[in-house]
């Protein structure tokens, strides 16, 4: 709704609900409402997490156990079955890649079911719908952060150096966060119209993982497919390359790698956000 | 253009409101539907013109009953006033905070406790944590849920759900309250209590919109009734007059049969 809030004489506010202009609500009011409800996002994420794993023996420890188990499984597959120990560098790259991929994957898969799952709230209360998938990105982020500490332990234990170039991982991680947010917003909206989205999501994510420098080093993939082909087509290739490469090897990256990574991140956010916001007026009729 | 801002006693001004929404024929859209439907060249999405350019004003302290057959656009009108569905054309001007109780109970997440649900519902509606905590005891008192408020809501009965929903939406300072078909839930004594609360709110010059098929309830509580038919206003005015015309329209000979609450 295009909606202007003005303070009237008797202290209560006047709101005017009008048709969306070109599919978009009034963006100033929209962001204002989002900002005002930031405590809702934080609180909902906390409540969601507290109620998960309540009935399992390890409880919230699962947030640390599951990325470790994935790393162990892939370690077994790549190093043991494919033969030969290939050094600490490769192991660290694998662990870090899987941790950051788990973040993207958790944000996207939780995001995809988030709006349909919140139909009760959506049918009763007016608030910017973008908050629901954002909550799930925040939850994925909160699950991810401790796994960085696990990585740090591995890194120190392996005796790898700590380099100044590691700082590049911070902007790379921000790009990964931006990309994941866009993906979560897109998937959450798509799920409203196409309820198979959430079921397709694991396969899409697995595909993205196999074409990303997680199980192998980026240069191996580039050899395979020639130049930047894969890096251009796979949205997360460059982000993961920078994030992992700067931490594990202390590498630097050319400007194109940064441009491709940033391009995909912001494209994802813009598409996901526009898709959700132009459709959210229908949610209360669709759910 | 609009009659609102100059006349201070009008809370809701609806002007030439039209609302068309697209919806699916099947309950849950999926890939099979899409393929089969495409093969048969079926249209899986239909446009529903729920409201066809209606205009009316609601004054402070009015308890407006909205009646009409199924599919008349009552719920759509309530959703539009609550801000859940944007108008397709026209506009709604609202003076004050709207609190809505539209789809009973299910505004809540069943795995979380009553306490968490009240907090989250309030935060989503834009209230501050302090406002919610200040009113929390009053909400629990009115809903009579002292023993259950910290249990997951999946353990609640339907009546408990509706008591909590009603209590939340009426306790935390609403200026405008929109209630859709929710009054029939809960036992007789709670119903009595909720009527009292509605009358109390009306006396404080709050504005209420109530949708119900229970014409007896509408007649008891409302001081004005709006009859919607096929997305248009068929009649608006004094409860007795409108309800009488509506029952005649329905060809229900005996008015008492429709005045029963069921």
Give the closest of A16, A51, A127 to B91, CB-based.
A16
* Burial of residue A197, with CB atoms counted within 10 A of its CB: 0-12 exposed, 13-18 middle, 19 or more buried: buried
Rg (CA), chain B: 20
pLDDT tens digits, one per residue of B35-81: 776 666 666 678 889 999 999 999 988 999 999 988 899 999 999 99
pLDDT tens digits, one per residue of B5-45: 445 688 999 999 999 988 776 666 666 766 776 666 666 67
Q: Inter-chain contact B107–A40, Cβ cutoff 8 Å?
A: no
Flag whether pLDDT at B205 surpasses 70: yes
Q: Inter-chain contact B93–A14, Cβ cutoff 8 Å?
A: yes
SS3 of A17, please?
A: strand
Q: Are A73 and A102 in contact (CB under 8 A)?
A: no
Flag whether pLDDT at A191 surpasses 90: yes
Measured in angstroms, the CA of A134 and the nearest CA of chain B are apart by: 13
Residue A1: predicted pLDDT: 38
pLDDT tens digits, one per residue of A45-65: 999 888 777 667 777 788 778
* Chain B 19-58, residues with CB within 8 Å of chain A CB atoms: 21-24, 28-31, 34, 48
Q: How confident is the model at residue A182 (pLDDT cuts 50, 70, 90)?
A: very high
Q: B94 at the A interface (CB within 8 A)?
A: yes
pLDDT tens digits, one per residue of B130-145: 999 999 999 999 999 9
Residue A226: predicted pLDDT: 58
Best mutation target, A17, A118, A195, A200, to test chain B (most B CBs within 10 A): A17
Q: B151 at the A interface (CB within 8 A)?
A: no
By C-alpha distance, the chain A residue nearest B126 is A37
Q: How confident is the model at residue A9 (pLDDT cuts 50, 70, 90)?
A: very low
What are the φ and ψ backbone dihedral angles of B260, each rounded to 5 degrees? -60, 140
Q: What is the mean pLDDT of residues A202-229?
A: 80
Flag whether pLDDT at B256 surpasses 70: no
Distance (Å, whole) CA B110 – CA B228: 34
pLDDT tens digits, one per residue of B90-144: 999 999 888 888 865 556 688 889 999 999 989 998 899 999 999 999 999 999 9
- β-pair partners for B235: B227
Residue A30: predicted pLDDT: 93
Angle at B50 between CA B46 and CA B52, to 5 degrees: 120
Report the relative pairing of strands B63-67 and B89-95 from DSSP bridges: unpaired
Share of residues in chain A with pLDDT > 70 (%): 90
Q: pTM for the whole thing?
A: 0.88
Distance (Å, whole) CA B142 – CA B159: 13
Residue A230: predicted pLDDT: 72
Flag whether pLDDT at A5 surpasses 50: no
**Residue bearing the bigger pLDDT, A111 or B163:** A111
Distance (Å, whole) CA A40 – CA A132: 10
- β-pair partners for B12: B58, B94
The question of ipTM being above 0.90 is answered as no
Distance (Å, whole) CA B261 – CA B188: 11
What are the φ and ψ backbone dihedral angles of A118, each rounded to 5 degrees? -100, 25
Q: Are B190 and B158 in contact (CB under 8 A)?
A: no
How far lies A247's CA from each of A156, B82, B247, in Å? Answer: 12, 50, 76
pLDDT tens digits, one per residue of A66-97: 878 877 887 787 777 766 566 788 889 988 99
Give the closest of A3, A40, A124 to B107, CB-based.
A124
Residue B7: predicted pLDDT: 59
Residue B160: predicted pLDDT: 87
Best mutation target, A11, A53, A285, A286, to test chain B (most B CBs within 10 A): A285
Cβ-based contacts of B106 with chain A (< 8 Å):
119-120, 123-124
Q: B219 at the A interface (CB within 8 A)?
A: no
Name the one residue in this structure whose structure tokens are 């993982």: A209
How far lies A62's CA from each of A69, A233, A244, B112, B243, in Å? Answer: 10, 33, 24, 20, 60
- What mean pLDDT is reported for chain B? 84
Q: Are B64 and B224 in contact (CB under 8 A)?
A: yes
């Amino acid at each position: 709704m295009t909606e202007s809030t003005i303070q009237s004489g008797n202290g209560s506010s006047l709101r005017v609900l009008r048709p969306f202009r070109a599919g978009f609500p009034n963006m100033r009011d929209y962001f204002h409402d989002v900002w005002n409800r930031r405590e809702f996002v934080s609180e909902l994420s906390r409540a969601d997490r507290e109620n998960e794993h309540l009935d399992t023996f390890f409880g919230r420890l699962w947030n640390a156990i599951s990325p470790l188990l994935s790393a162990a499984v892939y370690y077994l597959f790549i190093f043991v079955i494919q033969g030969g120990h290939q050094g600490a560098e490769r192991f660290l790259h694998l662990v870090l890649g899987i941790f950051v991929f788990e973040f993207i994957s958790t944000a996207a898969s939780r995001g995809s079911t988030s709006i349909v799952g919140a139909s009760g709230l959506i049918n009763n209360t007016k608030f910017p719908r973008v908050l629901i998938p954002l909550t799930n990105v925040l939850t994925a982020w909160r699950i991810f952060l401790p796994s960085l500490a696990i990585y740090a332990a591995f890194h120190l234990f392996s005796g790898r150096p700590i380099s100044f170039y590691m700082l590049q991982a911070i902007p790379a991680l921000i790009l990964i966060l931006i990309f994941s947010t866009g993906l979560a917003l897109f998937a959450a909206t798509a799920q409203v119209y196409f309820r198979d989205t959430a079921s397709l999501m694991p396969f899409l994510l697995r595909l993205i993982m196999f074409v990303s420098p997680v199980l192998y080093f980026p240069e191996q993939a580039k050899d395979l497919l020639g130049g930047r082909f894969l890096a251009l087509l796979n949205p997360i290739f460059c982000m993961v390359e920078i994030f992992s490469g700067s931490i594990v090897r202390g590498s630097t990256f050319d400007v194109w790698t940064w441009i491709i990574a940033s391009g995909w991140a912001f494209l994802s956010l813009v598409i996901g956000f526009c898709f959700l916001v132009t459709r959210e007026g229908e949610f209360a009729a669709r759910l | 253009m609009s009659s609102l801002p100059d006349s201070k006693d009008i809370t809701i001004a609806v002007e030439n409101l039209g609302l068309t929404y697209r919806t699916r024929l099947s309950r849950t859209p999926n890939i099979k539907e899409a393929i089969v439907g495409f093969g048969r060249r079926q249209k899986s999405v239909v446009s529903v013109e729920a409201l066809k350019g209606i205009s009316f004003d609601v004054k402070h302290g009015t308890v407006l009953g909205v009646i009409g057959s199924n599919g008349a656009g009552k719920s759509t009108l309530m959703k539009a006033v609550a801000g859940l569905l944007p108008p397709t054309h026209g506009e709604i001007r609202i003076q004050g905070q709207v609190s809505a109780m539209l789809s009973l109970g299910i505004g809540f997440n069943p795995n979380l406790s009553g306490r968490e649900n009240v907090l989250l519902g309030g935060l989503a509606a834009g209230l501050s944590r302090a406002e919610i905590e200040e009113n929390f005891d009053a909400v629990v008192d009115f809903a009579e849920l002292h023993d259950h408020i910290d249990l997951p809501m999946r353990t609640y009965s339907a009546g408990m759900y509706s008591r909590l929903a009603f209590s939340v939406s009426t306790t935390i300072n609403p200026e405008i309250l929109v209630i859709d078909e929710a009054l029939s839930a809960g036992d007789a004594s709670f119903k009595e209590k909720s009527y009292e609360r509605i009358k109390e709110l009306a006396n404080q010059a709050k504005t209420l919109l109530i949708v119900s098929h229970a014409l007896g309830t509408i007649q008891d509580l409302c001081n004005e009734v709006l009859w919607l038919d096929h997305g248009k206003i068929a009649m608006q005015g004094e409860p007795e007059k409108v309800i009488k015309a509506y029952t005649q329209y329905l060809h229900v000979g005996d008015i008492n049969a429709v005045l029963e609450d069921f």
